[in-house]
Amino acid sequence: MTTDRRRPVLAAAQQAADALDLFGRVSARLRRLVPFHSAVWTATDPETGLITAPMLVENMGAGEGCAAYWRSELLEENVLPFRDLARGAVPAAGLRAATGDLPARSARFRHLLRGQGVHDELRAALRIGDRPWGLVSLFRTTDAFLPHETALLADLSRPLAERLRTLTRPSASARGTDSPAPGLILFDGSGEAVSANDEARHHLAHLPEGPSFPTALGLRLPIWVIGTALQARAVADGRDRGSARVRIRTTEGRWLTCHASGLSGPGGAPGPVALVIEPATPADLAVLVAEAYGLTARELQVTQLTARGMTTVEIATALFISPHTVRDHLKAIFTKADVSSRGALVARLFTDHYWPALPEPEPVRRPGHLPARARRPPGGGAVAEPIALRPPSSLRTESA
């Protein structure tokens, strides 16, 4: 009988109390099966694939080279970029294997890894479908990673991503209303931070420990903020079409949204990058909970209307689907949330996680109909008019 080599690694993952603990436990177990000299483990925002807290850097000092590593990842032509591993047929690959033992084909190796004595790199996207919840890079100073080692890491991708997803669920401490206004940081064309307001300093002070880098402003910028600014530069330069947006959990358990955009200079030349860091909106928190429980866009809509006290028939009318389909969605939602009733569902998602109500959904037109809204007559009763809900852009649309 064949032994599942993943078992000790997955057992370690189940014992983890949070994402950083998971990285440490899994790395220690994996090293026994796939020897490596150093490693970087990081969480990612599943919506954009950008790095977020926490990050674990092993045997690489305090992570001084992280900024250069991610600059190369986002702004240079490289072999095996993480975005390709997140979408590819196999979520893991070794650099020497991918280049026919010619790693210098990769700018990352030429400019960084070779100078650090790295012989080979094995990297993987920890993903569910094409949504990455984490990234890992393993480094060896001698010998190349072997095919069976790459296969093992690939087989660990989804179960580790599922565990990370569970650990991402917002906690009760995520509720808070005393956060300041949005913070703003400006980066010049070379990527240096040149200006920041007091609100940005406040938000930065509440981000978790991790690789960070000094600036002329007297601030140390975490790698997650730098990575978002680099992504904005990549988009402005036409290297990527993705979004420069990431959600970061603070030391208090609250969530911040960090988003950046490249500005235009004189004559259309590339200008500075403006980065905004602010408390996550109610819609962001709702989507975080939905993603953490693996809800689809349609399931999120059904859950939202269930929490508003609507019946199965009312939900079906609002979403232009049949009551039978609503019941199927509720059954799937109950399974994912590990509950058996509507009341337990609302308690789990809205009380346990303080998931705030989303803004009123935007009405849409049905062919031959005026825009419609779902509403209750005074004192309750049936829904007077139907409403079609637009699913959040960050969640896939599921057919009714």
Q: What CATH code is carried by the domain that includes residue 373?
A: 1.10.10.10
Give the total number of structural domains in the chain: 3
| Domain assignment of residue 309, yes or no | yes
- Considering the domain architecture, whether residues 108 and 214 belong to the same structural domain is answered as no
| Domain assignment of residue 373, yes or no | yes
Rounded CA gap, 98 and 100, in Å?
Answer: 6
- Considering the domain architecture, whether residues 193 and 273 belong to the same structural domain is answered as yes
- The tokens describing 230, both together, are 């680099």
- Considering the domain architecture, whether residues 156 and 180 belong to the same structural domain is answered as no
Q: Residue 348 has what DSSP assignment?
A: I
- Considering the domain architecture, whether residues 120 and 232 belong to the same structural domain is answered as no
- Point out which residues pair with 38 in neighbouring strands: 139
Please name the helix (run of DSSP H) or strand (run of DSSP E) that holds residue 333, with its range, or none.
Answer: helix 323-337
| Domain assignment of residue 378, yes or no | yes
- Considering the domain architecture, whether residues 350 and 393 belong to the same structural domain is answered as yes
- Considering the domain architecture, whether residues 11 and 157 belong to the same structural domain is answered as yes
Q: Of 259, 280, 301, which marks where a domain is finished?
A: 280
pLDDT, averaged across the chain: 85
- Considering the domain architecture, whether residues 83 and 99 belong to the same structural domain is answered as yes
Q: Which amino acid is at 221?
A: L
| Edge-to-edge strand ranges of the sheet holding 255-264 | 193-196, 183-187, 270-279, 255-264, 245-249
Rounded CA gap, 43 and 221, in Å?
Answer: 17
Name the one residue in this structure whose structure tokens are 């403006």. 274
Counting residues of the chain whose pLDDT is more than 90, the rounded percentage is: 64
Q: What is the pLDDT of residue 285?
A: 77
Q: Of 229, 250, 280, which marks where a domain is finished?
A: 280
In contact, 172 and 354? CB cutoff 8 Å: yes
Cα dihedral 217, 232, 83, 163 sign: positive
Render pLDDT for 55-73 as a digit per residue (tens, 0 to 9). Answer: 999 998 777 789 999 999 9
| Domain assignment of residue 1, yes or no | no
- Considering the domain architecture, whether residues 152 and 11 belong to the same structural domain is answered as yes
| Domain assignment of residue 263, yes or no | yes
Render pLDDT for 303-338 as a digit per residue (tens, 0 to 9). Answer: 888 888 899 999 999 999 999 999 999 999 999 988
Q: What is the pLDDT of residue 398?
A: 39
| Domain assignment of residue 295, yes or no | yes
- Considering the domain architecture, whether residues 268 and 359 belong to the same structural domain is answered as no
- The tokens describing 282, both together, are 């109610």
> How far are the Cα atoms of 4, 22, 25, 128, 204 from residue 7, in angstroms, in the given order?
6, 15, 13, 19, 38
CA torsion angle for 52, 56, 57, 58 (degrees, to 10)?
-160
In contact, 363 and 375? CB cutoff 8 Å: no
Q: Write the Ramachandran bin of 218: left for phi over 0, alpha for psi from -120 to 50, otherwise beta.
A: left
Render pLDDT for 376-394 as a digit per residue (tens, 0 to 9). Answer: 433 444 333 333 344 444 4
Range of the domain at 129: 7-167
- Considering the domain architecture, whether residues 38 and 160 belong to the same structural domain is answered as yes
Q: Of 167, 184, 217, which marks where a domain is finished?
A: 167
- Considering the domain architecture, whether residues 157 and 17 belong to the same structural domain is answered as yes
The CATH number of residue 35's host domain is 3.30.450.40
Q: What radius of gyration do the chain's Cα atoms show?
A: 23
Render pLDDT for 148-178 as a digit per residue (tens, 0 to 9). Answer: 999 999 999 999 999 999 998 766 555 554 5
| Domain assignment of residue 2, yes or no | no
Give the mean model confidence (pLDDT) for residues 140-151: 97
- The tokens describing 259, both together, are 């988003």
- Considering the domain architecture, whether residues 156 and 188 belong to the same structural domain is answered as no
Q: Residue 46 has what DSSP assignment?
A: T
Q: What is the pLDDT of residue 238?
A: 87
Q: What is the pLDDT of residue 53?
A: 95
Rounded CA gap, 200 and 220, in Å?
Answer: 12
Which region among 128-142, 169-183, 336-350 has the lowest average model confidence (pLDDT)?
169-183
Q: Residue 347 has what DSSP assignment?
A: I
Q: Residue 388 has what DSSP assignment?
A: P
Burial of 340 (0-12, 13-18, 19+ CB in 10 A): exposed
| Domain assignment of residue 61, yes or no | yes
- The tokens describing 146, both together, are 């072997």
The CATH number of residue 220's host domain is 3.30.450.20
Of 100, 102, 99, 104, nearest to 115 by C-alpha is 104
Of 240, 236, 193, 188, nearest to 212 by C-alpha is 193
Of 240, 236, 238, 203, nearest to 219 by C-alpha is 203
